């Protein structure tokens, strides 16, 4: 059809929709195939419509059941992985705890050694102090003896 200007309308270029004699094609999402309702000889009575509805419901239920099984398997896998991870974590925690205990024991040993060395150092310092005192006393005695010998030598020189 063309309007008064002689131009054709956009609606004139459309392909006509299928009529009642042509099969209507649908795509089944679960099966992935194209089906023609006329190939199955569907009638429009209520029994056939109900049968088609319930057939689709059964297919939907089967898809849902398969998906549920798949999700259940994924859940079991995840639970297994979680259990393995927990076991590994427990092992790591025990190992870390053992290492922490060994480090603490080593720290205690080092601290004990430090205390012993500090005590030995104090003892050595005391010994050194006493030795210095003894040396000072001996130096004083040596000085006294040297003075006495010098005095005696001076007296002996004068006496002769």
Percentage of the chain lying above the pLDDT 90 cut? 57
Whole-model pTM: value is 0.38
Q: Is residue 73 part of a domain?
A: yes
Measured CA distances, 145 to 121, 135, 153, 154 (Å): 35, 15, 12, 14
* Type and span of the H or E element at 1: none
pLDDT at 28: 47
What is the number of structural domains in the chain?
Answer: 1
pLDDT tens for each residue of 39-72: 455 455 667 777 878 888 889 999 999 999 999 9
Q: Is residue 62 part of a domain?
A: yes
- Domain limits at 110? 50-126
Q: Is residue 28 part of a domain?
A: no
pLDDT tens for each residue of 111-152: 999 999 999 999 999 999 999 999 999 999 999 999 999 999
Measured CA distances, 68 to 6, 62, 75, 76, 103 (Å): 61, 10, 10, 12, 51
Q: How confident is the model at residue 27 (pLDDT cuts 50, 70, 90)?
A: very low
Q: Is residue 153 part of a domain?
A: no
3-state SS, one letter per residue, for 9-40: CHHHHCCCCCCCCCCCEEECCCCCCEEECCCC
Q: Is residue 54 part of a domain?
A: yes
CA dist., res. 28 & res. 13, Å (int): 30
* 80: pLDDT strictly greater than 60: yes
Q: Is residue 96 part of a domain?
A: yes
Structure tokens at 114: 């430090």
């Amino acid at each position: 059809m063309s309007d008064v200007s002689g131009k054709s309308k956009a609606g004139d270029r459309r392909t006509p929709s299928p009529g009642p004699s042509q099969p209507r094609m649908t795509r089944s999402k679960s099966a992935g195939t194209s089906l023609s309702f006329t190939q199955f000889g569907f009638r429009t009575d209520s029994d056939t419509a109900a049968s088609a509805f319930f057939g689709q419901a059964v297919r939907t239920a089967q898809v849902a059941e398969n998906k549920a099984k798949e999700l259940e398997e994924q859940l079991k896998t995840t639970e297994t992985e979680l259990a393995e991870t927990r076991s590994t974590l427990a092992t790591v925690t025990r190992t870390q705890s053992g290492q922490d205990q060994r480090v603490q024991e080593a720290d205690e040993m080092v601290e004990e050694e430090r205390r012993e060395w500090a005590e030995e150092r104090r003892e050595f310092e005391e010994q050194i102090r006493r030795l210095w005192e003894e040396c000072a006393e001996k130096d004083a005695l040596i000085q006294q003896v040297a003075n006495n010998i010098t005095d005696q030598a001076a007296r002996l020189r004068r006496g002769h």
